[in-house]
Amino acid sequence: MATSQTNGTPADSVNGDGLHHKTSSNGNGVSASPASYDCIIVGAGFSGISALHRFRKLGLSAHIFEAGTDFGGVWYWNRYPGARVDSETPFYQLNIPEVYRTWNFSVRFPDHVELRKYFAHIDKTLNVRKDTSFNSKVVDAAWDDGAGRWTIKTASGDVASAKYLMLCSGLLHHTYIPDFPGLSEYKGVVHHTGAWPEGVSVKGKKVAVVGAGATSVQVVQELGKEAEHLTMFMRRPSYCLPMGQREFTVQEQNGWRPYYDRLFKEGRLSFSGFPSTRKQGNLFDDSLEEREALFNELWDRGAFNYMMGNYGSFLIDKEANRVVYDFWKKKIRARMTDPKKQELMAPEEPPYYFATKRNPLEKDYYEILDQPNVEIVDLTKAPLKSFTETGLELEDGSTHDFDCVVLATGFDSFTGSMSNMGLKSKDGVDIKDIWSKGMSTYLGLLIGGFPNAFMVYSPQSPTALSNGITIIECQCDVVTEIISRLEETGAKSIEAKLEAQEDWKAALNAMNKLTLYPFTSSWWDGGNIPGKKAENMNYVGGIERYEKTCREMIDGWTGFNVVKA
């Protein structure tokens, strides 16, 4: 079996020209061991850069340790065909004037190549590289209570210490490959989407895509245009929404640029990071004609508008949810001609409630699926039995041969990256052992037993239900305020109280039970990973309410233990 390395480091990096170069330099690197900082940041994606930018403004010395060879986080690692963001321009960018004043996106939804160019622009503008060490995967992080400092070690042997530890290791980073029987016997090529090699072509080949989630949607949408034959193996379909992709001109962005700051601020005061509003009132208070008119208007806007601007009642009322689903089903089926594929991708009876798992955005996904060279296999009818030397065998005895298998099997979300870096509590217990029976945080920012350690883009916050950069900047601002106050008072450390964590988890679960989310298991609750406890990991009250709650709690240090120096 020829397979691409998962969670590895590609041999090349993307520099400011957006091209790949055979190089992997550290910024200033860690010239001496151990190096000493005020703040150590793990991860050089949007979270890590946002944290560094804020710590610099506080006058603190901060340094990023990044496993890859360049900036980008999820956009450094994910280079599979079709990979692009599903948050629309201008909201998927940092609210840093010196950065956004000198940058133009080419389209409403940039792809992974353009986003790496954007990271190069950020670096050029803010000189992030001088405070970053690449090829520096953190494999151990331990707290010294006497010194009041964290010490981290990297796989390359570097050692560094800091008063504060900022974990910016990502929501969807640690790739997940199921323990498929016989996978090692397969003699074809296997690629996980999270470790896609450059320059791969499937032209004239028979391709299998395992999975039907958001990544699979993007992969199938592209590979189905090139492969001789493509088979998508799925358990349940994604409810995709129309992307509404279009080009953006420089003139258009110049016209909007004076309003960016206001738009970003309104995003922070919104539910999901986009300054839009839901339709007020109950869905059934309006006539069928009024509902249809609203549905069509939201649909034509593209992006997540059909979900975000709809009646709020559809996420708590099963009958209202069915109405929203039926309209979606009608729109999707109209784009496909094969009755069997229509039923597979937009079933008459919904397999789960609408919007209770991720709604991917698509451009021509359903037209590609409708092509005669694309096949859809329902694994709920005939589960995968085993890989063979030439392909896959299903429980019904059918065999499928392929040249290439694409594993769009997702990630160990929320906790996976933090549970695989040797992060230990003040008592020396690894976080993976602490969370093995259930995950717990306080405010989605701190963990009891881990003084001065903070998380961003984290579990038990609005992460999965938000525009990524909006919630990242929200959390970075809150953490920065905490650290600023600690420094002003000369405090040694801050730590979440365990009872506060329990109360936070109970509050999140109580909110979640009022919705339809608990009826659907996905990566949103960790249910995609065998052995991992499936539990609510989302704050469903929205960004504005979340930030207000966080600031209320830190105002009087409610739920915290603050130790004086």
- How many residues are listed for the chain in this entry? 565
Residue 246 falls inside a structural domain: no
Domain total for the chain? 3
Residue-level pLDDT at 33: 55
Do 168 and 205 sit in the same domain of this protein? Answer: no
The sign of the torsion formed by the CA atoms of 323, 324, 328, 334 equals positive
Do 329 and 423 sit in the same domain of this protein? Answer: no
Q: Residue 84's domain spans which residues?
A: 24-174+413-564
How do residues 376-429 score in pLDDT, each as one tens digit? 999 999 999 999 999 999 999 999 999 999 999 988 777 778 888 999 999 999
Residue 539 falls inside a structural domain: yes
Do 233 and 380 sit in the same domain of this protein? Answer: yes
Q: Which residues contact 390 (CB under 8 A, 6 or more apart)?
A: 186, 187, 188, 399, 401, 402
Cα–Cα distances in Å, from 163 out to 36, 146, 403, 410, 451? 9, 12, 51, 34, 9
Q: Which residues contact 397 (CB under 8 A, 6 or more apart)?
A: none
Do 150 and 88 sit in the same domain of this protein? Answer: yes
Residue-level pLDDT at 26: 52
Do 378 and 474 sit in the same domain of this protein? Answer: no
CA separation for the pair 263, 50 (Å, rounded) = 18
- Type of residue at 376: I
Residue-level pLDDT at 524: 83
Residue-level pLDDT at 547: 98
Q: Which residues contact 513 (CB under 8 A, 6 or more apart)?
A: none
Chain-centroid distance of CA 2 in Å reads: 28
Residue 509 falls inside a structural domain: yes
Core vs surface per residue 57-69: b (16+ CB within 10 A) or e? eeebebbbbbbbb
Residue-level pLDDT at 173: 72
Do 52 and 94 sit in the same domain of this protein? Answer: yes
- Type of residue at 28: N
Residue-level pLDDT at 21: 30
Residue-level pLDDT at 226: 97
For residue 215, give the CATH number of its domain: 3.50.50.60
Closest by Cα among 177, 175, 145, 180 to 163:
145
Other Cβ atoms less than 10 A from the Cβ of 527: the count is 16
Closest by Cα among 143, 52, 141, 169 to 494:
143
Residue-level pLDDT at 24: 33
Do 160 and 197 sit in the same domain of this protein? Answer: no
Q: pTM higher than 0.85, yes or no?
A: yes
Residue 211 falls inside a structural domain: yes
Do 449 and 491 sit in the same domain of this protein? Answer: yes
How do residues 8-58 score in pLDDT, each as one tens digit? 333 333 333 333 332 334 554 444 457 999 999 999 999 999 999 999 999
- Type of residue at 82: G
Residue-level pLDDT at 172: 74
SS3 of residue 63 by DSSP:
strand
Q: Which of 342, 357, 372 is the last residue of a domain?
A: 357
Q: What are phi and psi of 39, to 5 degrees?
A: -135, 130
Residue 251 falls inside a structural domain: no
Residue 485 falls inside a structural domain: yes
Q: Which of 349, 382, 410 is the last residue of a domain?
A: 410
- Whether the CB-CB separation of 336 and 345 falls below 8 Å is answered with yes
Q: Which of 392, 410, 428 is the last residue of a domain?
A: 410
Do 67 and 152 sit in the same domain of this protein? Answer: yes
Burial of 340 (0-12, 13-18, 19+ CB in 10 A): exposed
DSSP per residue, 497-517: -HHHHHHHHHHHHHHHTTSSG
Do 145 and 182 sit in the same domain of this protein? Answer: no
Residue 2 falls inside a structural domain: no
Residue-level pLDDT at 95: 98
Spans of the chain below 70 pLDDT: 1-33
How do residues 290-306 score in pLDDT, each as one tens digit? 999 999 999 999 999 99
Do 439 and 560 sit in the same domain of this protein? Answer: yes
Chain-centroid distance of CA 146 in Å reads: 36
Do 77 and 133 sit in the same domain of this protein? Answer: yes
**Beta-bridge partner residues of 189:** 2, 404
Residue 4 falls inside a structural domain: no
CA separation for the pair 9, 135 (Å, rounded) = 8
